[in-house]
C-alpha cells in the first residue's frame, strides 16, 4: 500500500524556519515518490501568488520557488478557502496548478487510509 503525506503549513515569513521545514519535507517526500498534498494556510497563503516565494529568504535553506516546483512536479498544492478570502486572493491570482479548497476536502484527505498528516 502506498502512503500519502498531507502537510498543512501555517507559517510564512513570520516563522521562516517552520515554513521552510514544511516545504522542504514536502519536496523531499515528492522527490522520493510519496504522494504529497501541501496545504497553504495562514501566512503561508501568500506563497500561492506568483513571485511571493522568490521574496522569501532563509540562510542555508533551499529557495522556496525550487521547493514549490518540486512539490508540483508530482504533488498538489492547495490554498485554504477561508485564508484566501481573508487575503482577497482568488483563483485567477494563484500560481498555475494551485487549487483553492476548504476544510471539508482537507478532512477528507487526512482521514483516508494510508495517510500521514503533518502540521507546521
| Residues 21-34 pLDDT 10s | 999 999 999 999 99
d(CA 38, CA 118): 10
Q: What is the pTM of this model?
A: 0.95
Quick: pLDDT tens for 53-89: 999 999 999 999 999 999 999 999 999 999 999 999 9
d(CA 120, CA 20): 9
Q: How far apart are the first and last CA of the chain?
A: 26
Which DSSP string do the residues of 37-98 spell out, in sequence order? EEEE-GGGGGGGSTTTGGG---TTS--HHHHHHHHHHHSEEEEEHHHHHHTT--TTTSPTTE
Q: So what's the pLDDT on residue 72?
A: 96
Using 50, 70 and 90 to split pLDDT, how confident is the model at 91?
very high
Using 50, 70 and 90 to split pLDDT, how confident is the model at 1?
very low
Residues 6+ apart with CB under 8 A from 17: 58
Query: Taking Cα atoms as reference points, which of 65, 66, 63, 60 lies closest to residue 48?
Result: 65
For residue 4, pLDDT over 90 is answered with: yes
Amino acid at each position: 500500500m502506498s502512503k500519502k503525506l498531507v502537510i498543512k503549513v501555517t507559517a510564512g515569513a513570520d516563522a521562516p524556519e517552520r515554513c521552510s521545514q514544511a516545504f522542504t519535507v514536502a519536496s523531499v517526500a515528492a522527490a522520493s515518490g510519496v504522494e504529497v498534498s501541501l496545504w497553504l494556510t495562514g501566512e503561508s497563503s501568500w506563497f500561492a501568488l506568483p513571485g511571493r516565494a522568490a521574496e522569501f529568504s532563509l540562510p542555508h535553506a533551499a529557495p522556496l520557488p525550487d521547493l514549490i516546483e518540486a512539490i508540483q512536479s508530482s504533488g498538489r498544492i492547495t490554498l485554504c478557502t477561508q485564508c484566501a478570502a481573508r487575503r482577497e486572493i482568488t483563483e485567477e491570482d494563484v500560481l498555475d496548478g494551485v487549487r483553492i479548497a476548504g476544510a471539508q476536502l482537507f478532512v477528507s484527505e487526512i482521514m483516508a487510509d494510508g495517510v500521514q498528516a503533518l502540521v507546521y
